[in-house]
Structure 1
């Protein structure tokens, strides 16, 4: 009864109190640097409400110099107030419940109300007030921009009610590792929501611990138990997982989600029971969903996620995911130059999304917005983000993990994060509006030139009809949107950006960082061009030597990388320091004056289209490869290397030297046999040498370059034929999908 009377009195107070209005239609929260307002919390405020009040108090002080006291509702004496959270006063005026993490910002004639839904909704409301109404900005992991003013006004009768378009929202870039940035932009962090994340089978049942004693827990592949995936029809696996989750949930009761998902790779179980279930469900996704549903039934109060990815991408024919199971679908196979809704490479993804949305309301998406093989490569998919998120929202997707470069700096990392954050909350915002706000705020007077740079990148990408691959390489784009001519155009725009902010070290550093992807591309392509124009080598005598400008150029690039926060240049790749070491090794190489230099090469089996290098001429361009198989290596998939080099004229040959790459992570292995033959006429060949290599008997994933030399007794020859026998069966320890074949990589045939 007391509460009801108290609420009625508060409503009457709101309707009759008319002071604190300095101009018609506006509320003066702060006037002349002072304020009559107090911040009012519920008598039993939550931790988020308490934090929200403190944040608002702090920022009003920083904005205007005014100090607003924080009081509880029971101490309220009809002062002008900012009501934070679910006070009785707010609940009486705005009784509606807000779904999820939504919020309401409202004003009457004098008072201000911020009300949140679940979770951090109240914090999101405060940050929105600061940004949308007071002009504050949190552009990146940098100090908040605060437009200092002794006047803070809000319109009367304001009603700003916002609900998130997606239940789960994560953009995976460096800025999102900053806690305030995360809350300011209404984002999540998977570590905060998931008790167990991602590929989780072996996090629960690690083979190193359990395979020896329980091989039956693991997949039966080609008639043999292997530590590739779990056997989901095995009752012991189910019992073990139930025990695991019972303890894990007790230890982490606040976790919202728990992942039960296969490892990254193939090798699903083909035992009789799993095969029977898979046949009934249309594939191995059947055993997965049936298994997860059993676990979910044992813990009905919890929410479980799994990955619809690779062999589990399609929905089962019969079994629907349980109500507390979320499907995390992957868009990994789609190229990125066009939106997911239209690009042909996403056709399978679109079918899978439609299939899953027909059987469940609970779909998350694992999306990709960077080039994982080259984080610093220019990757202009920026204009597709809005279209993609609108498409996903229209197809029942409830959450998005937008995987960028993680905590390492990458192409336009701050912009990507900002753009994605805004659109994840509201895909109805326009890319142009968000971009203009960010570029002008983050880059100052350089912003318009950075905008021109991004537009030039995007336009050239489309004009050249370039395929934008998350596992691509800027070296392979030397004829299209990253041609030397195009890079000169982009560079001139960033020259103007630098000039516009001369004297401002902070803004200048941001432009330098923005330029890093162009410099990285130039350096990587120089390895490819080698002795040609734009290469790192210049003529000297009868051979070539390192361009004297190049060591200093690499040094400056590496130093800027460190300042920008580049920790690794690719997913699981080397650091800037490692990159410097790679170049130091390249600079230390002496030019080998090969008789085969620029000689014509013919191949029996063609190079792989995905990794063309210089095609046949890769073997005679005078350049050695490094540990990156996509540069300066002739990549042949699943077949022997059989290459014939024409020396042009008959020569005296004393030695032949070859390098082969070993990189089991990418299924690249040494040839089993290397055979060298010579010929005077190109028709009749004479054996000149043969070497056998030792197969990798145990696990070894580090990339390694192996050199093979053949000494010849001063043979007269015009033609050299080299055969490298491709490994026929990938070692069992590599756990390859059944259809996967070994590749062979050779960088150069030196003839001395």
Structure 2
């Protein structure tokens, strides 16, 4: 009996607590020490070696213990963590692991981590760290690692996972961190695509070909233009295949190659392209036929193309080839409801069904930020899981979830984290996931931060607000971003700040989350101007800048830089540029006018999408800047005809205003402006007229064009300003069928 006990004690001494048939746990580390080694296959690949190094590093960070890494041919039967397809792991593999999936398994002593193709083995290690060892990586900051002298994992563990989507990308600052990418099982298009996105001109650059061969490019309104390619031209086919052949040889590891239209309209209407489009029900026909033709030359490669704008619908007859993936865009969908129900996504849903009927290879290009105002609150939070579940249920196999890229935006860390988890498993418990993030990332401020997000979502729903990816916080000043609502949100963030007072790292995170509210207040103050909540205050009969605003803007821009804000909108200004915008506003002397707050009657209504203050935009005492949606009266496709009632007959010596030139948004100056006066509002006489020359050459600069009239001093009560809208959009500015030019006018000064 004594001999048996002695052998048992020796056994326990040798293996520590690793034999866990009594306590159902395996002790990888006990008291800061470990008997375990990490075992790799004799021919371990780079992903297996990397996975072993990650596990070794984090075990040491947690406990101080270093687990040695050895190859299986040097293994001596000691307690082990087997990583990769070792001979020992074959015994626990009872089913096939799917691509990029993994298996976490254990017996009574050893742990096994086995991966499918790609980085499955790496994903398995990070899942072990997060789900079983308590580590977390909420953002691009270093991971949170608990200090543990004892590290235990369950015995008899069997956890097999695989991704719901083959391609998974969430496009926020955190995803530019390589470890964040691997930790959350994400991908990066730069790593997967040899050529990405809108690619026609990467394949056939206009700079190299248009001058000598305009026939390679689209015939639009009877003229060859470098807007898209002519897909029926055989020379274009040869150039594309030659370009791809060289690119593939130079980058053989690329998984996908894009053959897709440029961002915009202007598709080819030559006879051959038109014939194909007529047979297929639209310009998606010539596109799919062309992509299939190219793909046939490279049967071993995978190609993607876009279902976007004019190619959104599936063709009537052609089907994407087996090695062609169609990437559908959700560009037209508003975001206040999930894609499955929101009315504006009806066409997308129909197209998804249509493409799904002719191909099983579908990706989706989705959008989860406000591109025109990255910092504006954008409470799409509650729809993130619902949208990805919907796409998964409709056999979508890849998602590019486009956020703000590498610049900070509203709740960027939260959006990225939640999307990453749903991209791997759309059925993840949302409540637990949110609670873990809020508590882990914001600490004691987490409860108030969750209440803040809930308040934004609930107020948006209660006010029936539109959530537009090209919207503006000013447009929501009467619903979920009203001054009253902002005050309520601010109180919740005040509580969040108070909860982490004295904790600089956590306080910085709350400050960053607060930036969207402050941005909204500043932007709306430009709109309110001389009214309550505006940046101007009364000073006698004049208005001057609220002295607090100078310091407020400076503090805001400093916090933006601290949070990682690099640009305020897609392709927009940076933080310094935003400060300069305000400096220009601050330096602008407010100009009094006989027309200030005068009643305005319009012959043609302003745009419903960009209403500003309606007719009163012309007499609110505020000039417009470079943002057409703010303080500009936007008239779409019709003339500006505005009659201003001065209230009484007064001598008028001067009338001046500005018009906006912004070809990117199809906004052009009027071809002619006239000023007329009247005593009774019925009979008008012309007081002045000017003609503005149209832009003859391509010009996408945004500028405010001043127009001034020196008059005779004739007394009138009514002043009518007429701006004649251009009849057509210039040929150099390609446009979708039916698109018309717009004109924008700001304050009309009468002196």
Alignment of 1:298-447 (within 5 A): 298-447=297-446
Alignment of 1:8-87 (within 5 A): 20-21=19-20, 23-87=22-86
Q: Deviations over 1:567-602 (max 9, x none)?
A: 001000001100100001001111111000000000
* Higher mean C-alpha displacement, 443-452 vs 429-438: 429-438
* Higher mean C-alpha displacement, 456-465 vs 676-685: 676-685
Secondary structure of 1:358's match?
helix
Alignment of 1:652-731 (within 5 A): 652-731=651-730
Separation (CA, whole Å) in 1 of partners of 2:268 and 2:30: 71
| C-alpha displacement of 1:223 | 2.1
Aligned counterpart, 2:7: none
CA change 1:639–1:113 in 2 (3 A) is: same
Aligned counterpart, 2:92: 93
Aligned counterpart, 2:581: 582
Alignment of 1:254-273 (within 5 A): 254-273=253-272
- Check conservation: 1:278, 1:287, Cα contact below 8 A: yes
CA change 1:471–1:604 in 2 (3 A) is: same
Q: Indicate whether 1:245 and 2:262 are aligned.
A: no
Separation (CA, whole Å) in 1 of partners of 2:22 and 2:708: 88
Aligned counterpart, 1:275: 274
* Higher mean C-alpha displacement, 227-236 vs 514-523: 227-236
Separation (CA, whole Å) in 2 of partners of 1:129 and 1:632: 54
Separation (CA, whole Å) in 2 of partners of 1:603 and 1:67: 77
| C-alpha displacement of 1:17 | 13
Secondary structure of 2:746's match?
strand
Alignment of 1:191-206 (within 5 A): 191-206=190-205
CA change 1:23–1:145 in 2 (3 A) is: farther
- Check conservation: 1:600, 1:647, Cα contact below 8 A: yes
Alignment of 1:275-674 (within 5 A): 275-674=274-673
Separation (CA, whole Å) in 1 of partners of 2:271 and 2:654: 56
Aligned counterpart, 2:741: 742
Secondary structure of 1:366's match?
strand
Secondary structure of 1:70's match?
strand
Separation (CA, whole Å) in 2 of partners of 1:318 and 1:220: 24
Aligned counterpart, 1:152: 151
Aligned counterpart, 1:131: 130
Separation (CA, whole Å) in 2 of partners of 1:18 and 1:294: 64
Separation (CA, whole Å) in 1 of partners of 2:430 and 2:403: 18
Separation (CA, whole Å) in 1 of partners of 2:186 and 2:691: 56
Separation (CA, whole Å) in 2 of partners of 1:212 and 1:609: 41
Q: How many residues are paired up?
A: 737
CA change 1:22–1:89 in 2 (3 A) is: closer
Q: Deviations over 1:677-720 (max 9, x none)?
A: 11111111111111111211111111100111111121101000
Aligned counterpart, 1:117: 116
| C-alpha displacement of 1:388 | 0.7
Q: What value does the CA root-mean-square deviation take over the aligned residues?
A: 1.2
Separation (CA, whole Å) in 2 of partners of 1:17 and 1:724: 88
Separation (CA, whole Å) in 2 of partners of 1:504 and 1:95: 49
- Check conservation: 1:17, 1:110, Cα contact below 8 A: no
- Check conservation: 2:662, 2:700, Cα contact below 8 A: yes
Q: Deviations over 1:426-446 (max 9, x none)?
A: 001122221111111011000
Separation (CA, whole Å) in 2 of partners of 1:631 and 1:505: 36
- Check conservation: 1:201, 1:263, Cα contact below 8 A: yes
Separation (CA, whole Å) in 2 of partners of 1:454 and 1:370: 15
Secondary structure of 2:714's match?
strand
Secondary structure of 2:711's match?
strand
- Check conservation: 1:321, 1:359, Cα contact below 8 A: yes
Q: Deviations over 1:299-356 (max 9, x none)?
A: 0000000000011111111111011100000011011011111111111000000001
Secondary structure of 1:624's match?
coil
- Check conservation: 1:383, 1:431, Cα contact below 8 A: no
- Check conservation: 1:20, 1:80, Cα contact below 8 A: no
- Check conservation: 1:18, 1:110, Cα contact below 8 A: no
- Check conservation: 1:366, 1:400, Cα contact below 8 A: yes
Secondary structure of 1:195's match?
strand
| C-alpha displacement of 1:222 | 2.1
Aligned counterpart, 2:11: none
Secondary structure of 2:434's match?
helix
| C-alpha displacement of 1:29 | 0.7
TM-score when scaled to structure 2? 0.97
Separation (CA, whole Å) in 1 of partners of 2:89 and 2:627: 61
Separation (CA, whole Å) in 2 of partners of 1:168 and 1:91: 28
| C-alpha displacement of 1:270 | 1.3
| C-alpha displacement of 1:284 | 0.8
Separation (CA, whole Å) in 2 of partners of 1:257 and 1:695: 43
| C-alpha displacement of 1:95 | 5.5
Secondary structure of 1:674's match?
strand
Separation (CA, whole Å) in 1 of partners of 2:540 and 2:633: 28
- Check conservation: 2:641, 2:723, Cα contact below 8 A: yes
